[in-house]
Amino acid sequence: MGGQNRNSLKPGMRVAIVLKKDQRSGKLTEGVVADLLTRSDYHPHGIKVRLTDGQVGRVKEIR
């Protein structure tokens, strides 16, 4: 399940994101959503979130 739609994400959900530094390799980082940073309802590359550990990236999978 992708993370392009903002309404499918909520704080507390477990997700896999791609960090800015990992965009070329596509390496995923797992964590729990703390904040939704993208304001629009849809983003083709994934909604940008902040995880509870402070890392920021775009959601690629909802776990």
33 assigned to some structural domain: yes
Residue 12 and residue 32 in contact, taking contact as beta carbons nearer than 8 Å = yes
Kindly state whether residue 26 falls inside one of the protein's structural domains.
yes
- Structural domains counted in the chain: 1
Range of the domain at 16: 6-62
Is 1 part of any domain? no
pLDDT band at 2 (very low <50, low <70, confident <90, very high): confident
Q: What is the pTM of this model?
A: 0.90
- Is residue 34 in some structural domain? yes
Asked if the structure places residue 39 within a domain, the reply is: yes
The reply to whether 12 falls in a domain is yes
pLDDT in tens, 3-54: 899 999 999 999 999 999 999 999 999 999 999 999 999 999 999 999 999 9
Residue 17 belongs to domain with CATH number: 2.30.30
- What's residue 40's pLDDT? 96
φ and ψ at residue 52, rounded to 5 degrees: -60, -25
Buried-exposed string 6-37: b where 16+ CB fall within 10 A, e elsewhere: beebeeeeebbbbeeeeeeeeebeebebbeee
Question: For residue 1, what pLDDT band results from cuts at 50, 70 and 90?
Answer: low
What are the strands, taking DSSP E only, across 1-63?
14-19, 28-36, 48-51, 56-62
